[in-house]
Chain A
Amino acid sequence: MTIRVLLPAHLRHLARVKGEVELTIDGPITQRSVLDTLEAAYPMLRGTVRDHSTKQRRPFVRFFACEQDLSHEAPDTPLPEAVVTGAEPFLIVGAMAGG
């Protein structure tokens, strides 16, 4: 499946991409599989969205899709069907905090 991912501006700049990133993933489409594929394609993003070793989401990073906050879902929970089909992007967002 081809999944659409939208990175926050700072991480788009770091990864040197414009607009959305498209990832081809075999198997279940979950936060974990999306992030594993994203980090494999863009190694410079390792450690910026989730911890290197624990794989925990960084506190000020949020995951949105289909107008829902999926940040607190378990990493292996399937993502919404609209994300799986590519109709909607998976949004990685820097939380509104600090400055």
Chain B
Amino acid sequence: MASVRVLVGTRKGAFILMADGKRDQWEVTGPHFAGWEMYHLKGSSVDPNRIYASQSSGWFGQLIQRSDDGGNSWEPVGNEFVYDGVPGTHQWYDGTQHPWEFNRVWHLEPSLTDPDVVYAGVEDAALFRSSDGGHSWQELSGLRKHGSGPLWQPGAGGMCLHTIVLDPSNAGRIVVAISAAGAFRSDDGGTTWQPINRGLRSEGIPDADAEVGHCVHNIAISPARPGVLFMQKHWDVMRSDDGGDNWHEISGNLPSDFGFPIAVHSHEPDTVYVVPIKSDSEHFPPDGRLRVYRSRSGGHEWEALTNGLPQENCYVNILRDAMAVDTLDSCGIYFGTTGGQVYASADGGDNWRAIVRDLPPVLSVEVQTLP
């Protein structure tokens, strides 16, 4: 019987949750790396026992850990992230130019074809690649140097490259998102890049439909239809039907179109999930009710999913990397909260329950479906 492994990164360590395909009994192990910020853990789809983890602290900096046995044991690998050439400057909060400085790794994205290849999205925003299992890292500097870099500026959480989407149908295509610069795409494996923000409008920047400067929070695709991208922006839920060349809004009847994560059902490419958050200053669900919203029409029309989720006095947030789906026949949806709960639905979102609670604030949730 298939099983599911959920990788949870929190503010004070990592946790691994295991269940069989029924997903009703969960075994929790951890904390791994207790006391460290675990921004992201993700397993290779080629070799599911190969898991990469981003471990950091304000005292001791950045480490990358790797497991080759499904998270039972870990080895530190390379943690030297050096920008290519003279790093240059980007916009700072006060509008002045600020030197590029490495702070941390926000997101690790293993290759879809080679377990030794993995991409790292870092703060200050840049994309790195390792081809030796994480031991050494090289910047794909065509992104930072393509021309608009000096116009990028940090969002409230820092100037981070937080989203990396690999196209399973096109080995050369990589889509990334940066707060607050926007979305960018490479069609040659990361050598050259172009902004893909046409159709985005952001009222918080001087030119609302500028080529760059948008605070994109997360991007998701369906492996079944990778040309269609879904985006949760600072405000607005967006969709592109042409790989990011053009975007249109699909917020429809959402109670708020602010939010962080977005996910697509693993078998139904028009079934999309978001978690509306009240506003950019009030990072909690509207009305204190934790509701996942599901669209089965690729956007515009959304239904609230509430069964098993707290419907009063709930003021947690769900961060951008804290929602994921499994690939079982009845698609499972998972998300973690800043209140330390991880909620799961084994039936596409109709019914939810906390599979663990009272963890440190959850930074990321990833799911592996194991044979």
In the assembled complex, A53 has its CB within 8 A of some CB on chain B? yes
Q: How far is the CB of A42 from chain B (nearest CB, A)?
A: 10
Partner-contacting stretch, out of B20-28, B75-83, B178-186: B75-83
Q: Give the docked Cα–Cα distance between A11 and B80 (Å).
A: 17
Contacts of B35 on A, CB cut-off 8 Å? Answer: 10
Q: Is the CB of B58 within 8 A of A48?
A: no
B60 to A11, Cβ gap below 8 A? yes
Partner of A47, one of B36, B58, B59, B62: B62
Question: Which residues of chain A are within 8 angstroms of B57 by Cβ–Cβ distance?
Answer: 10
Which secondary structure dominates chain A's binding surface? loop
- How many chain B residues sit at the interface, stated as a range, is 10 to 19
Binary per-residue interface labels of chain A (11-54) against chain B in the complex, 1 for a CB within 8 Å, 0 otherwise: 10010000000000000000000000000000010111100110
Question: B76 to A14, Cβ gap below 8 A?
Answer: yes
B177 CB, min distance to chain A CBs, angstroms: 27
Complex partner residue of B61 from A44, A48, A98, CB under 8 angstroms = A48
Alpha-carbon distance A10/B80, docked complex (angstroms): 19
A98 to B12, CA, bound (A): 13
B80–A61 CB distance below 8 A = no
Within 8 Å by CB of A60, from B59, B62, B76, B79, lies B59
A75 to B57, CA, bound (A): 24
Task: Name the residue on A nearest B35 (C-beta).
Answer: A10
Closest to B76 in A: A44
Known: A8-B59, A10-B57. 6 other contacts (CB 8 A): A44-B76, A46-B80, A48-B79, A52-B80, A58-B61, A98-B59
- Please give me the residue from chain B that is nearest to A94 by CB atom: B59
Please name all residues of chain A whose beta carbon is closer than 8 Å to the beta carbon of B80 when the two chains form the complex: 46-47, 52
Can you list 26 pairs linking A and B with CB atoms under 8 Å apart?
Answer: A8-B60, A10-B35, A10-B59, A14-B60, A46-B79, A47-B61, A47-B62, A47-B63, A47-B79, A48-B60, A48-B61, A48-B63, A52-B79, A52-B80, A52-B82, A58-B59, A58-B60, A58-B61, A60-B59, A61-B59, A94-B59, A94-B60, A95-B59, A97-B58, A97-B59, A98-B58
Give every chain B residue within 8 A of A49 (Cβ-Cβ): 60
Interface residues on A, range: 10 to 19
What is the 8 Å Cβ interface bit string for chain A, positions 64-99, against chain B (1 contact, 0 not)?
000000000000000000000000000000110110
Quick one: given A10-B35, A10-B36, A14-B76, are A53 and B63 in contact (CB under 8 Å)?
A: no
Name the 6 nearest CB pairs between A and B, nearest first. A48-B60, A44-B76, A94-B59, A60-B59, A52-B80, A47-B79
Q: Is the CB of A61 within 8 A of B60?
A: yes
Give B79's nearest chain A residue, CB to CB: A47
User: Which of B58, B62, B63, B82 touches A14 (beta carbons < 8 Å)?
Assistant: B63
**In the bound complex, how far is the Cα of B76 from the Cα of A61, in angstroms?**
20
Of chain B, the residue at the smallest CB distance from A47 is: B79
A70: shortest Cβ distance to chain B, in Å? Answer: 18
A98 to B58, CA, bound (A): 8
For residue B36, which residues in chain A have a CB less than 8 angstroms away from its CB? 10
B residues 38-79 in Cβ contact with A at 8 Å = 57-63, 76, 79
Q: Establish whether residues A60 and B58, one from each chain, have CB atoms under 8 Å apart when the complex forms.
A: yes
Return A58 CB to nearest CB of chain B, in Å.
6
- Separation of A53 and B80 alpha carbons in the complex (Å): 9
Q: Which residues of A contact B62 (CB under 8 A)?
A: 47
Which B residues are CB-close (under 8 A) to A95?
A: 59
